[in-house]
Amino acid sequence: MTTFLTDSIENGICFLTESESRHAIKVLRMKNKDNLSIINGNGLYGEGEIIDSSTKKIKIKIRELKEIKKPVPLSLAFCPTKNNDRNKLIIEKASEIGVTDFFPLISQNSERRKWNTERLEKVLISTIKQSQRFWLPTIHPVEKFNHFIEKKSYKLKFLAHCKKEEKIQLKKISNPLEPQVIVIGPEGDFTYNEIELAKVNNYNMVSLGNNRLRTETACIAAVTIMKL
């Protein structure tokens, strides 16, 4: 069944938004008595059928509704690339894999310092419907690297960089059963001062392998390892 996002579920009835309704009717050619599934992005999942497709907001009768447990936090903090298509790729693929929180960062060598959250939130909605996730990930406001490193508290904290120094393989110390965060830098990498600041704040320096990776590749590789 096709999945739709709604923020209105009450007494066994829900309504799709105008945009979701338009997609269902104009693109998918759905009509009364057609079956579909719905999510609200906060753990609710339901199955039902269309009982009124004649309005701008499709009306659905819910047959079954259940609550899905919130996933263990898996956070990705990264310095956005100058290419917005690559940033979109990061959000899309990392969401499919299971990232719960995105933290766009500005570091000393950042290539992009402006960030359009609204555009990428639309990518999130499309992704969770396609990948059958029930909790909508959060894109947090952009912030400076130093502020993030000094204030964020996780049980498992990792930072990946390209400098030649001792690192631990990420796959050896990550744990999907615990809240964890990975920090990925810009194409120009983190500075030595930024790396030292992360160490002071108890971040583990990790390796993602022998090859040097682009920011978007490193993000996807890292969260894949952490989710295993």
Query: Is the domain 3-67 a CATH 2.40.240.20 member?
Result: yes
For the chain, domain boundaries: 3-67, 74-227
HSE-up of 159 (CA within 13 Å, CB side)?
A: 29
Question: Could you give the C-alpha distances from 78 to 22, 114, 130, in angstroms and in order?
Answer: 35, 13, 24
The string of pLDDT tens digits covering residues 103-149 is 999 999 998 877 878 888 889 999 999 898 999 999 999 999 999 99
* pLDDT for 119: 82
103 DSSP β-pair partners: 77
Cα 16 from Cα 91, distance rounded (Å) = 24
Cα 41 from Cα 54, distance rounded (Å) = 25
Kindly report which listed range (13-17, 117-121, 159-163, 213-217) carries the lowest average pLDDT score: 117-121
Residue type (1 letter), 36: L
The fold for domain 74-227 equals Alpha/beta knot (3.40.1280)
Give 54's pLDDT tier (boundaries 50, 70, 90). Answer: confident
Pair type for strands 13-15 and 9-10: antiparallel
Cα 110 from Cα 187, distance rounded (Å) = 8
The string of pLDDT tens digits covering residues 183-207 is 999 989 999 999 999 999 999 999 9
